[in-house]
Amino acid sequence: MQINNIESFLGYYSKIKNRTQRLFDYIPPDKLEWTYLQGKFTIGDIIRHLANIERYMYAETVQFKPSKYKGCGIEFAKGFEEVKAYYNRMHEESMQIFARLSTKDLQKKCNTPAGIEITIWKWLRAMVEHEVHHRGQLYMYLGMLDVKTPPIFGLTSEEVASNSK
């Protein structure tokens, strides 16, 4: 998928973010800082990581600035409501930056933190893939906690199989 128009991309990306955010309502607040293994991201870390990487890496680099990503620990937001609000605030700031990109800007190249030049529309596409990757982690973590989560597109696998001919 090539991104030719920032307005249509922002609409699409908002839907991606909404599907991630919908999972937050299923997180037991007392499990926000739970992880399956010491040294791995907690649920809260994943949410803060998504917030910070979007705002301080992707949104900075599409402005031809270096990444300002500094991690995802509780120093950025602590507690269930604060973490959700932080995620939303960073997303709003990012969307304001992305909305300033012109069609011409989408064809320009920016530098990744690895020092690789990439076309901005491809970098934005990678941002979507990154979000989806970590959403999958949230589903996995919640499954490990035996939390029933909503099907991502309305039907479970079993319901799809039952409705198929």
* pLDDT tens digits for range 29-73: 999 999 999 999 999 999 999 999 999 999 999 999 999 999 999
**Average pLDDT, integer, range 8-30:** 96
CATH number of the domain at 6-163, please? 1.20.120.450
Residue with token string 């037991």:
28
Which residues are 140's β-sheet partners? none
Q: Is the pLDDT of residue 165 over 80?
A: yes
DSSP secondary structure string for all residues of 125-144: HHHHHHHHHHHHHHHHHHHH
Q: Tell me which amino acid residue 59 is.
A: A
Asked if 127 and 58 count as a contact pair (C-beta separation under 8 A), the reply is: yes
pLDDT, tens only, 95-110: 999 999 999 999 999 9
Spell out the domain ranges in the chain: 6-163
pLDDT at 2 over 90: no
Task: Give tens-digit pLDDT for 130-157.
Answer: 999 999 999 999 999 999 998 877 888 8
pLDDT of the residue at 3: 84
Residue 55 is predicted with a pLDDT of: 98
Structure tokens at 28: 């037991």
